Amino acid sequence: MTLKVLTVTTLFPNVAQPRHGIFIANRLHQLQQYCDVDIEVVAPIAWFPGSHLLPSYQHLKEIPATTRWKSLTVHHPRFLSAPGRAFGFKPHFIAQAYAKAASNQYDIIDAHYAYPDGAATALLANKLNLPYVLSVRGSDINVLPDQHPDNKKKIKTALGEASAVIGVSRPLTENVKQLQPAVKKVVTLENGVDNQLFRLQQPELTEDKLLLSVGNLIDLKGHHLIVEAMPELTDYRLVIIGSGSKQHELEQRIQELGLESRVTIVNNIAQEALVEWYNRAKFTLLCSSHEGCPNVVLESMASGTPVLATRVGACEDLIDENVTGLFVEQRSAEGIADAVRRAEQQGFNKGQVHQIAQKFDWESVCKKQFELYQSVVQ
């Protein structure tokens, strides 16, 4: 029997933000391909009176109420979200948007991110009398609970009322257990990678001295530290792919260091174009302070490019040290430069990196997720 799933999340791609929550969208698309599920997505969009007049909100008005993303039907209802201090009220308004857009009979609710989405889902599940599974991603467990006591209380409630919690890395699931000892069930289910899309291209495109860093342009991703390392890596070029609030600061620092000819920022691009960048790079750098299960690591390795990463999230489970990459032992400009030099001396076989990454396939991940949902519904 087909399992009818209502997925609720504020993190999902749309016409104005094509890479927003792309990791969630990819997982759902793959789940629908491999398993007997019918998924309907509700991904609310923030709104308040006059929001269309603000530059940071203007692009959101272009997002349609209902659309398609690959195999998925996606609804984008609006929810009241005044900027600034009203963050604590978001779960209530998001839950209202979820309930308004949910139009069918469902077997289970699939929620992503503990706050505000998980907190809103706890309210929705009570209203619809449905079980829910909550997937947590990283900062929602590692950072948000410490930002405000009310956030922590609502996150603990969301974790405790969920029929099951999925963490995308072992350290994350351990943190869930510490934060909410009363959690009913918590499992580790790392991300997969689309091995048909992310692949080693022939002929090889590798540029001998090209470094790549992919991710939102925010401090926790560590792009700024890689920029600071570049004066020590005089033979290398760096391409940063992403967009975000720190772009202007990064551009300023690149100019101050006289690196305009060697460091380039490329704003978000389609995944099909990202494959080529992975193939062109000699090494991909991931210098985050926090992560869940970083897709960048899986995508890069599947494309044959070794990864130099900090020891965060699932990285130690994903990277086979000195075979598919190595670790940045000190999250600093000096530590990054040292890692690049060690990687240069180590040498890597791109074909071997690509081959090892094949074990992180979506089919096995999706089947485990489907089995979990079935156990909850039964």
Asked whether residue 338 is assigned to any structural domain, the reply reads yes
Statement to judge: residues 301 and 322 lie in one domain: yes
Query: Structural domain tally of the chain?
Result: 2
- Per cent of the chain over pLDDT 90 is 82
Statement to judge: residues 39 and 182 lie in one domain: yes
The predicted model scores a pTM of 0.87
Task: Assess whether pLDDT exceeds 60 at residue 187.
Answer: yes
Task: Assess whether pLDDT exceeds 80 at residue 136.
Answer: yes
Note the Cα 98 to chain centre separation in Å. 22
Statement to judge: residues 38 and 176 lie in one domain: yes
What is the pLDDT at residue 204?
77
301 falls in which pLDDT band (50, 70, 90)?
very high
Asked whether residue 188 is assigned to any structural domain, the reply reads yes
Task: Assess whether pLDDT exceeds 90 at residue 377.
Answer: yes
Statement to judge: residues 56 and 163 lie in one domain: yes
Statement to judge: residues 125 and 263 lie in one domain: no
Identify the H or E element spanning 285: strand 283-286
Question: Mean of the per-residue pLDDT values for the chain?
Answer: 93
Tell me the mean pLDDT in the region 325-349.
97
Task: Print the domain residue range for 344.
Answer: 210-357
What is the pLDDT at residue 183?
97
Statement to judge: residues 78 and 15 lie in one domain: yes
pLDDT tens per residue across span 255-293 = 999 999 999 999 978 888 999 999 999 999 999 999 989
pLDDT tens per residue across span 37-55 = 999 999 999 998 888 788 8
Q: Domain holding 26: CATH number?
A: 3.40.50.2000
Q: Say how far apart CA 176 and CA 136 lie, in whole Å.
A: 9
DSSP state string for 79-118? EE--SSGGGGGHHHHHHHHHHHH--S--SEEEEESIIIII
For 114, the token pair is 């503990």
Statement to judge: residues 171 and 221 lie in one domain: no
Statement to judge: residues 186 and 302 lie in one domain: no
Statement to judge: residues 14 and 44 lie in one domain: yes
19 falls in which pLDDT band (50, 70, 90)?
confident
Instruction: Find the angle CA(245)-CA(251)-CA(256) to the nearest 5 degrees.
Output: 135
Statement to judge: residues 334 and 275 lie in one domain: yes
Q: Do 213 and 246 meet the contact criterion of CB atoms below 8 Å apart?
A: no
What is the pLDDT at residue 83?
66
DSSP state string for 194-247? -TTTS---SS----TTEEEEES-SSGGGTHHHHHHHGGG-TT-EEEEE--STTH
Asked whether residue 203 is assigned to any structural domain, the reply reads no
